[in-house]
Structure 1
Amino acid sequence: MTPEIALSLFADGLYLTILMVLVIVGPSLIVGLVVSMFQAATQINEQTLSFLPRLIVMLITIMVAGHWMVIRLSDLFNRLFNAIPQLIG
C-alpha cells in the first residue's frame, strides 16, 4: 500500500466522520443558540430548559437522518472491503 492510498482512505473516513457529526450536532447547536437567546431575554436560568430541547432535536435528527448515515457508512465499508485485494497486492 502506497502512502497516497493510505492518505486517501484516511481522508474518506475523516470526511465521513465530520459529515455525520455535523448532521447530528448542527441542528442541536442551532436549537441551543435559540434557547440561550430566549433565556437571556427572559432571564430564566434553568439548566434543563437548554438541555432538553437539544436532546429532543438530536434524537429527531438521528431518527430522520439515521438511514442516510447508515447507507453512507455501509458504502465506505463496502468500498474498503472490496479494495482489500488491490491494497495488499
Structure 2
Amino acid sequence: MNTEMVLSLAEKGVYTTIIVCAPLLLLALGIGLAVSIFQATTQIQEQTLAFVPKIVAVLVGMIFFGPWMLSRIVTYTMDIFTNLTRFVG
C-alpha cells in the first residue's frame, strides 16, 4: 500500500462523509435561518423555538434522505471490502 492509495482512500472517505452529511446540515441551516429571522422580526427570544424546529426538520430529513444516505455508505463500504486485498497485500 503506497501513499497514493492511502490518500485516495482518505479522499473518498471524506468526500462520502461530506456528501452524506450535507443534506441534513443544509436543512438544519435553512430552518435555523428561517426561525432566527422570525425571532428577530417578532422579538421573541425563546431558546426552544430555535431548537425544536431544527430537530423535527432533521428527523424528517433522515426519513426522506435516509435510504439514499445508507446506500452511499454501503457502496463505499463495499468498495473498501472488495478492494481489501489490494490495500493489505
Partner residue in 1 for 2:16: 16
4+ residue runs of structure 1 moved beyond 4 angstroms?
Answer: none
User: Where do 1:54-69 residues align within 5 Å?
Assistant: 54-69=54-69
Match of 1:80 in 2: 80
Flag structure 2 segments of 5+ consecutive residues without an equivalent: none
Is this contact kept in 1: 2:20–2:72, CA < 8 A?
no
CA shift, 1:66, in A, is 0.6
- TM-score, scaled to structure 1: 0.95
State the number of aligned residues. 89
**Structure 1: gaps spanning 5 or more residues:** none
Superposed CA RMSD in Å reads 0.8
Q: Quote the Cα distance in structure 1 between the aligned partners of 2:14 and 2:80.
A: 14
Q: What is the distance in 2 between the residues matched to 1:50 and 1:19?
A: 25
Identity of aligned residues (%): 37
Task: Output the TM-score relative to the length of structure 2.
Answer: 0.95
Partner residue, 2:33:
33
Q: Which stretch of the first structure deviates more once superposed, 20-29 or 68-77?
A: 20-29
